[in-house]
Amino acid sequence: MSKLKKTGRITKKIIHINLTLLILTVLPIAVFTLLTSKSTFIAGIQSMVVLSGSMEPTIHTGSVVFVQPSQSYGKGDIVTFKTDSGIRVTHRIVDEKLSNDGLQYTTKGDANSVSDSQNISQSQIVGKSLFSIPYLGYVVNFLKTPKGFLISVIVPTLIFIAFELWAIKKEIEKNTEKKILARMQEKAV
Residue 108 has pLDDT above 60, yes or no: yes
Q: What is the pLDDT of residue 182?
A: 85
pLDDT in tens, 112-148: 999 999 999 999 999 999 999 998 888 878 877 888 8
Q: What is the pLDDT of residue 163?
A: 82
Q: What is the pLDDT of residue 94?
A: 96
Q: Is residue 138 part of a domain?
A: yes
Q: What is the pLDDT of residue 31?
A: 77
Q: What is the pLDDT of residue 1?
A: 55
Q: What is the pLDDT of residue 139?
A: 81
Domain range for 118 is 3-144
Rounded Cα distance between 94 and 115, Å, is 8
Q: What is the pLDDT of residue 41?
A: 80
Q: Is residue 151 part of a domain?
A: no
Give the chain's end-to-end CA distance (angstroms, integer). 31
Q: How many domains does the chain have?
A: 1
| Average pLDDT of span 80-109 | 92
Q: What is the pLDDT of residue 158?
A: 86
Single-letter amino acid, residue 155: V
pLDDT in tens, 48-68: 899 899 999 999 999 999 999
Average pLDDT score over the chain: 87
Q: Is residue 79 part of a domain?
A: yes
Q: Is residue 42 part of a domain?
A: yes
Q: Is residue 29 part of a domain?
A: yes
Q: Is residue 33 part of a domain?
A: yes
Q: How many residues in total does the chain contain?
A: 189
CATH code at position 131:
2.10.109.10
In sequence order, the 6+-apart residues with CB closer than 8 A to the CB of 81 are 88, 89, 91, 107, 120, 124, 125, 126
